Amino acid sequence: MNIYVLVKRTFDTEEKIVVSGGKIQEDGAEFIINPYDEYAIEEAIQVRDAQGGEVTVLTLGGEDAEKQLRTALAMGADKAVLINIEDDVEELDQFTAAQIISEYLKDKNADLILAGNVAIDGGSGQVGPRVAELLGINYVTTITNLEIDGTSVSIKRDVEGDTEVLETSLPLLVTAQQGLNEPRYPSLPGIMKAKKKPLEEVELDDLDIDEDDVEAKTETLEIYLPPKKEAGKVLEGELADQVKELVQLLHSEAKVV
Amino acid sequence: MSKKVLVLAEAREGALRNVSYEAIAAGKQISNGGEVVSVLLGDSVQGLTAELGKYGADRVITVEHPHLKQYTSDGYGQALLAVIEQENPQAIVFGHTALGKDISPKIASKLQIGLVSDVTAIEGEGDAAVYIRPIYSGKAFEKVKVKDGIEFVTIRPNNIAPFAKDDSKSADVSSLSVDITNLRTIIKEVVRKSSEGVDLSEAKVVIAGGRGVKSEEGFAPLKELADVLGGAVGASRGACDADYCDYSLQIGQTGKVVTPDLYIAAGISGAIQHLAGMSNSKIIVAINKDPEANIFKVADYGIVGDLFEVIPMLTEEFKQLKVNA
Ligand SMILES: Cc1cc2nc3c(=O)[nH]c(=O)nc-3n(C[C@H](O)[C@H](O)[C@H](O)COP(=O)(O)OP(=O)(O)OC[C@H]3O[C@@H](n4cnc5c(N)ncnc54)[C@H](O)[C@@H]3O)c2cc1C
Ligand SMILES: Cc1cc2nc3c(=O)[nH]c(=O)nc-3n(C[C@H](O)[C@H](O)[C@H](O)COP(=O)(O)OP(=O)(O)OC[C@H]3O[C@@H](n4cnc5c(N)ncnc54)[C@H](O)[C@@H]3O)c2cc1C
C-alpha cells in the first residue's frame, strides 16, 4: 500500500506566544509535529505493518521542518519529502498550501493519505479535505478508528461527541482525531535508522508551479494577543457567603445568569 | 456594494441549531443591505423554513432528497454546489460545526476560492468586512481579509449574536431539485453519546469537571447544576483519561472548543491545553481546593474550596434565584 502522511511543523503547545512587529515571534521557540499529525503517522505505520507497503511523510515548509520529518522517520515512516517554499512563497494560506501539496501528490497514486484534523496553530482544518478534493478522491475527517480490507474501508469518526460508523473505499484521505491511537515515541535504534532514510527536497520549480497560480486568496492584516484579563476575584469569607456572593455577582455584575 | 449572501442552516434531530440564526446575522452584516438566502438540506425540512424567516433570512432555499437525510460530503457537496451555481452569491457563511468544518474546504477547493475558518467576530460591512479568528489555540487572534472572489467564512458557534426572533417576519421559500448520485461514503450507524441535554458547543453555560471530581458519580452534582442553569456538562482530559466521563465531553486543545457566557471549572487545574478550549468564554468561574491552581489566573471569579461542598450549595442558590425572579 502506498501511504502518504501530511505533516505540519507547529509551535510547541506549551510555548507562550509573543507578537512583535505584527508577527508571531519564532526565535527560540520549540517546534513539534502537529499533535494530530502524530496520530496520522502512527496510524500510517500500523496500516503499513499490517498490509505491507510504504509510508511517506510530506511537509510543506522551510528547511527547519527537516527536524520534524526526521522525527517522523524515527517513528517508523520510510521516506520523507520536504516541499521547500521558503524562497518562493511570501504569503501562504490554506488555498496555497493545498494547491501545492496536491500538485505534488497528483501523480503519486497514493492509496491512502492521512492528515491531522486540524493544525494547532493555523487552526482551520482545511488542508486535508482541500487536498482530497483537488485529487478527486473521497475523504473522511476526524476519524477515531480505521480498518482496511482490500480496498474496502470501515471507519469510525467523531462528530461532536457522537460516533459515526461508515464504509467507504480506497483511494481515500482521512484526518486523525484524538483517540485514533497512541503515537509511539521514536526509539533509539529508530533515531539512528532515520538518519539514513531518504529525505527528498523539492521546490516549486520542480513541480512546474508558478507562484502566481497559487497566490493566497486571503490576507492576514493583523495578528494580536487577546486583551490581558484582569486578575480575577477570589472570594473570601464563610463558604456559604462566598456562594451567595458568587451567585449575586454572576447575576447582577456579569449578568450571565 | 451590497452582496448576496448564502448562509447554511443546520438541523439536528429535527430542530434548527442556533448557529443557523447566527449565520443569518453574520450574513446580514457581510451583505451590507443585500439579500441573505438561507439554505436548508435534508430529506424532509419544510417544517423548519418559517423559523429562518423569523430570524432574518430574506429567502430560504430547500433541497430535499433521501440521500440528504444523513450528512455525507458527497451528498451535501452536490446539493450546495447546485445552489451556489443557481444563486451566484458573493459571500457564503457556514457554521464552524462538525458538518461545516467537513464540507466547507471541499466547496472552497471546488470553487478555487479562499476560506476563512472559525471566525469569532466580523468588523465592518460589505466589501470592508474583516474577519477575526483565533490562532494558536486561542492564544492569539488574526484579522483576515478576503483578497478577491467570493467571501467564504465559517463562524464559531456562540460568538456572533443572532437577531431577536420576529414573528411578523417571513421569508420566501423555494425548493431546488438536485440529483444526488454516487455517494462514496455509506453511513452505517450513528452512536449518539452527546444527545442528552444541551449541545456542549452551543451551550450558554458549561459546568466542567476535572480529575478533582474523582469518579463517574462525582459528575452527578455538576449535572444537577447544569440542569438548573440550562447548561451542559464538560470535562478536562484528566477526567476523561481517568474514565470518569466520556471523551465526547472533553474540552481543550484536543477536545471541543467552547465559548459560553459562563464557564464553571470544578476540580480542573487549568493546564494550557485545557485553557485552549475555554479561555475565550465570557465569564469563567474556578472552583478548586488548591489556591495556587493555574485556573485561577484565567478566572473572573474564584472560590477556593471543595467542589463537593460548593457545587451543591451553588445549585441551591441558583434555584432560589430562579424562584425569586
Ligand atoms: C513558510 C510558511 C509561510 C507562511 N506564511 C504565512 C502567511 O504569510 N500568512 C498566513 O496566514 N499563514 C502563513 N503560513 C501558515 C499557512 O497559512 C498554514 O500553515 C497553512 O495554510 C495550513 O493551514 P492551517 O494551519 O489552517 O492547517 P490545517 O488546515 O488546520 O491543517 C490540517 C492538516 O493539514 C496538514 N497540513 C497543514 N499544513 C501543512 C503543511 N504546511 N505541510 C504539510 N501538511 C500540512 C496537516 O496534516 C494538518 O494536520 C505560512 C506557513 C509556512 C510553512
Ligand atoms: C498534546 C496534549 C493535548 C492535551 N489536550 C488536552 C485537552 O484537550 N483538554 C484538557 O483538559 N487537557 C488536555 N491535555 C492534558 C493537560 O495537560 C492536563 O493534563 C489536564 O487538563 C489535567 O486535567 P485536570 O485539570 O482535570 O487534572 P489535574 O491537573 O490533576 O487537576 C485536578 C485539580 O482538581 C483539584 N481538586 C482535587 N480535588 C478537588 C476537590 N474536591 N474540590 C476542588 N478541587 C479539587 C486539584 O487541586 C487540581 O487542581 C493535553 C495534554 C497534551 C500533552
Which of A123, A243, A250 is opposite residue B283, by nearest beta carbon? Answer: A250
Q: What angle do CA B62, B66, B69 make, to 5 degrees?
A: 75
Task: Give the number of beta-carbon pairs within 8 Å between A and B.
Answer: 258
> Which residue from B103, B247, B153 is spatially nearest to A140, judged by alpha carbons?
B103
Set out the domains of chain A in order of their start, with CATH numbers: 2-213 (3.40.50.620), 229-256 (no CATH)
Any chain B CB within 8 A of the CB of A216? yes
- pLDDT, one tens digit for every residue, chain B (325 residues): 899 999 999 998 889 999 999 999 999 999 999 999 999 999 999 999 999 999 999 999 999 999 999 999 999 999 999 999 999 999 999 999 999 999 999 999 999 999 999 999 999 988 899 999 999 988 999 999 999 899 999 999 999 999 999 999 999 999 999 999 999 999 999 998 765 667 888 899 999 999 999 999 999 999 999 999 999 999 999 999 999 998 889 999 888 899 999 999 999 999 999 999 999 999 999 999 999 999 999 999 999 999 999 999 999 999 999 888 7
Taking the C-alpha atoms of residue A52 and residue B191, their distance in angstroms, rounded to an integer, is: 32
Which of A123, A128, A218 is opposite residue B134, by nearest beta carbon? Answer: A123
> Which residue from B224, B241, B243, B240 is spatially nearest to B232, judged by alpha carbons?
B224
Beta strands in A66-213 (DSSP E): 79-84, 112-116, 138-149, 152-159, 162-169, 172-176, 199-202
At A243 the pLDDT is 96
CB contacts of A35 in chain B (<8 Å) are 253-254
Q: What angle do CA B212, B215, B221 make, to 5 degrees?
A: 80
B49 assigned to a ligand binding site: no
ipTM of the prediction: 0.94
Pairing label, strands B91-95, B5-9: parallel
Any chain A CB within 8 A of the CB of B255? yes
Set out the domains of chain B in order of their start, with CATH numbers: 5-175 (3.40.50.620), 205-324 (3.40.50.1220)
Q: Is the peptide bond before B260 cis (omega within 30 degrees of 0)?
A: no
Q: Give the distance between the most distant pair of CA atoms in chain B.
A: 61
Beta bridge partners of B284: B263
At B86 the pLDDT is 98
> Which residue from B43, B164, B58, B13 is spatially nearest to A160, judged by alpha carbons?
B13
Rounded mean pLDDT of A221-240? 90
Pairing label, strands B140-146, B11-12: unpaired
Pairing label, strands B301-304, A233-234: parallel
Burial A16-37 (b: 16+ CB within 10 A, else e): ebeeeeeebeeeeeebbbbbbb
Contact between chains at A123 and B136 (C-beta distance less than 8 A): yes
Identify from A100, A134, A229, A250 which residue to disrupt to test chain B contact, counting B C-beta atoms within 10 A and taking the largest count: A250
B209 assigned to a ligand binding site: no
Pairing label, strands B36-42, B151-155: unpaired
pLDDT in tens, A41-95: 999 999 999 999 999 999 999 999 999 999 999 999 999 999 999 988 888 999 9
